[in-house]
A = this chain, B = another copy of it.
Amino acid sequence: MTSFSAISDRLGDLAIEVPSWAYGNSGTRFKVFGSPGTPRTVQEKIADAAAVHRFTGLAPSVALHIPWDLVDDYAALATYAKEHGVALGTINSNTFQDDDYKLGALTHTDPRIRQKAIDHHLECLEVMNQTGSRDLKIWLAEGTNYPGQGDMRARQDRLAEGLRTIYDQLSDDQRLVLEYKFFEPAFYHTDVPDWGTSYVHVAALGDRAKVCLDTGHHAPGTNIEFIVAQLLRLGKLGSFDFNSRFYADDDLIVGAADPYQLFRIMVEVIRGGGFGNAADGSPNEVALMLDQCHNIEAKIPGQIRSVLNVQEMTARALLLDTAALDAARSEGDVLLANEIFMDAFYTDVRRDLAGWREERGLPDDPMRAYLDSGYQQQIEADRVGGSQAGWN
C-alpha cells in the first residue's frame, strides 16, 4: 500500500467549503431546537466558519445563501471574511420560501412567477460579481404532490427556458451548478429528481453549467460513487453537497452513517481527476461542500467533525494501491481486488493526520483544541439578544 508520507502533499489540496446556514438553527418539520451562541448575523456565521478553518485548516471558504445572508455591501462582507481568514464561496439561490412559489418557481404555469424566480437568480449573479464567487448553485424545491397536479413535461420545458436565461447572464469565470433531489419538499415528483435530469439540462446549457451531487438526494440503494465516476467521465461534475443519511435527506454529518461509502466516493473523485486539479490557487474544478443540519449536536464541533471525516476518508482513498488494484482486476481476482480496496479503507490514518497537522502549525486534535479554546463560551456570552439565524 502507498505510504502516508507519499500522500502528504496531495492532502494539502483538500479544501472543503462550509455553508453559512450550518451555523444557524435547523430542524425538522416538527421542531427547530435553538442553542446558545447561535449566530444572529451573517458576520457571526462567517466568524464561526472561520473558527472551523482555524482549527482544521480544511475549510477556507464559506457558501452564502440568498436571501438568508442578504447584506447591503458584499464587498465589505468579503473583506470581513478575508480578515477572518476565509473567503466567500458559492452563492445559493432560494426559490422555495416565498408564497408565490407554492406551486413552482422556474416551472410555474404563471409567467410572472417564472420571471420573478429568474430575477432572483440574476440578483444572485449580481452578488457573485461583488463577492467574486465562482459558482451559482441552484437547488429547486419545485415539483408536485399529487398525480395530475402539474404537467411534468411542460415543466421541463419551462425549466430549460429559465435556466437558459440565467445561464446567459453568467460571466466567463462563473458557473451554474444544478442540484438534483429525489424528493422533498415535493412528494409526488420533483422537477430535477436525478443526475440524469440535471445532466440533460446542464449539457444543453453549455460548458460552464455543471451538476451538483448532494449525497443525501438519492433513492435507497443508489450507488453514488458510480454517479461520481460517470459525471467526471462526462466532464460535468461541478460540486458536492456532502452529508450523510440513513433514510431520506437526513442531512447528518458526512461520514457518520456510512464512512465506507464516503471512502468509495473519494476514491472515484481521485480516480476521475476531480481532486486537487486546480491550477494555481483557483478553486478546484469539483467543489467539495458540506450541506448538513446539526439539529441536535453542537454546530461548530459538528462542522469540525465533518471536515475531519472528509479528510480521513480522503487520506485513506489516496492510500489506495492503484497499481496492485489494476493488476488484480486484470487477472479477474475478485477477492484480491476487494482486499486491496478495503485495505486502504481499514488503515487507521488518524495518528498520521495528527502529525500532518502539527507539521503545518495546526492543532493535532482540532476537536479538543476547539473545545479547550474558549470560543464556544465566548460566543454564548456575547450573542445574547437578537434573533438566532435559521432557515428563513
Contact with B along A240-270 (1 / 0, CB 8 A): 0000011110101100111111001000100
Residue pair B109, A391 in contact (C-beta under 8 Å): no
The segment from A118-126, A130-138, A164-172, A338-346 found at the interface with B is A338-346
- Asked if A141 and B29 sit within 8 Å, CB to CB, the answer is no
Q: Identify which of A31, A144, A260, A271 gathers the most chain B CB atoms within 10 Å of its CB.
A: A31
Q: Which residues of the partner chain B approach A377 to less than 8 Å between Cβ atoms? A: none
State whether B146 touches A337 (Cβ < 8 A).
yes
For window 46-94 of chain A, which residues contact chain B by CB distance below 8 Å?
none
Shortest distance between the CB of A194 and any CB in chain B (Å): 6
Does A28 reach chain B (CB closer than 8 Å)?
yes
- Find the residue from A99, A342, A350 having the highest chain B CB count within 10 A: A342
The verdict on A145 contacting B183 (CB below 8 Å), with A29-B391, A109-B332, A348-B346 known, is: no
Residues of B within 8 A of A148 (CB): 325, 337-338, 340-342
- For this chain, the copies found in one complex come to 4
State which of B33, B196, B326 has its C-beta within 8 Å of the C-beta of A99. Answer: B33
Binds B, one of A9-17, A225-233, A380-388: A225-233
A362 on the B face (CB < 8 A): no
Contact B223 A246, beta carbon cutoff 8 Å:
yes
Is the C-beta of A197 less than 8 angstroms from some C-beta in chain B?
A: yes
A-B contact pairs, 5 of them (CB 8 A): A153-B232, A183-B221, A183-B248, A187-B250, A219-B219
Residues of B near A31 (CB, < 8 A) are 96-97, 141, 185
A sample of 16 more A-B contacts (CB under 8 A), given A152-B225, A184-B247, A301-B335, is A26-B29, A27-B29, A30-B97, A31-B96, A146-B334, A149-B341, A150-B329, A156-B230, A183-B250, A185-B295, A187-B245, A188-B246, A199-B200, A220-B221, A248-B248, A297-B335
Q: Does A182 contact B (CB under 8 A)?
A: yes
A298 interface residue, CB < 8 Å from B?
yes
A183 to B248, CA, bound (A): 9
A323 within 8 A of B: no
A157 at the interface (CB under 8 A from B): yes
Q: Is the CB of B229 within 8 A of A337?
A: no
Shortest A18–chain B CB gap in Å is 16
Chain B: CB-nearest residue to A312: B346
* Closest CB pairs A-B (n = 8): A148-B341, A196-B196, A219-B219, A187-B250, A220-B220, A28-B185, A348-B348, A146-B338
